[in-house]
């Protein structure tokens, strides 16, 4: 059987780095969006926005770059 390579990078095991950063981003975005919400449904909408914040980021960066 073939052993999986566990090459170390600056953020730990290679396969887990992106998921950890996305999780931190989700938690930060959820806390921010819920804290500025003015009502219950705005808080729910804030959690949904926190799930897809990378899409908003990429879209705005593409607009900024004129692509």
Look up the domain containing 43 and give its range.
38-67
Is 27 within a domain? Answer: no
> Residue 45 and residue 50: Cα distance in Å, rounded?
9
Is 57 within a domain? Answer: yes
**Residues 38-47 pLDDT 10s:** 999 999 999 9
pLDDT (0 to 100) of residue 45 = 93
Is 14 within a domain? Answer: no
Is 30 within a domain? Answer: no
Is 43 within a domain? Answer: yes
**Residues 16-40 pLDDT 10s:** 667 787 888 889 999 999 999 999 9
pTM, entire model: 0.60
Domain count across the chain: 1
Mean pLDDT over the full length of the chain: 82
12, β-bridge pairs: 9
CB-based contact 46:30 (threshold 8 Å): yes
pLDDT (0 to 100) of residue 21 = 79
Is 17 within a domain? Answer: no
- Supply 8's token pair: 């170390």
């Amino acid at each position: 059987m073939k052993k999986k390579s566990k090459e170390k990078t600056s953020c730990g095991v290679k396969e887990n780095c992106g998921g950890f950063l996305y999780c931190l981003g989700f938690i930060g975005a959820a806390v921010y969006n819920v804290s500025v919400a003015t009502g219950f449904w705005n808080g729910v909408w804030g959690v949904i926005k926190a799930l897809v914040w990378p899409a908003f980021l990429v879209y705005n960066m593409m607009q900024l770059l004129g692509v």
